[in-house]
């Protein structure tokens, strides 16, 4: 069996509790950003499908739904960027 790491010649880096908490916070923030993106996609998909269904009888409502879906996706993208920049600032 081939080993990828040679543990006899080098000592592994020492991890502190602070570093582990920082890594845990970073992973939690990534999960929250991913959930936000998925939720924004699903809500906008529902709005677009509703707009397609309502387009025949209610053209103005369907246009408003499509515009709202676009604004919703742009807003969630902005929030994702803000969270991403905040993630870099976590000490």
Q: Rounded distance, CA 69 to CA 64, Å? A: 9
Domain ranges of the chain: 40-91
Let me know: does 69 contact 54? Beta carbons within 8 Å.
no
Examine the pLDDT at 5 and tell me if it is beyond 70: no
- 37-41, 78-82, 84-88 — which is least confidently predicted? 84-88
- Nearest 5°: the CA angle 34, 37, 27 is 15
Look at residue 12 in the predicted model and tell me its pLDDT. 65
Let me know: does 32 contact 21? Beta carbons within 8 Å.
no
DSSP structure class, residue 9: T
Confidence of residue 89 (pLDDT cuts 50, 70, 90): low
Cβ neighbors of 77 (< 8 A, separation 6 or more) are 40
Confidence of residue 53 (pLDDT cuts 50, 70, 90): very high
């Amino acid at each position: 069996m081939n080993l990828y790491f040679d543990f006899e010649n080098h000592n592994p880096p020492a991890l502190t509790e602070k570093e582990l908490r920082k890594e845990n916070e970073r992973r939690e923030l990534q999960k929250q950003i991913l959930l936000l993106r998925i939720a924004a996609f699903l809500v906008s998909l529902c709005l677009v499908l509703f707009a397609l269904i309502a387009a025949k009888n209610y053209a103005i409502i369907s246009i408003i739904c499509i515009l709202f879906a676009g604004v919703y996706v742009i807003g969630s993208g902005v929030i994702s960027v803000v969270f991403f920049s905040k993630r870099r600032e976590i000490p």
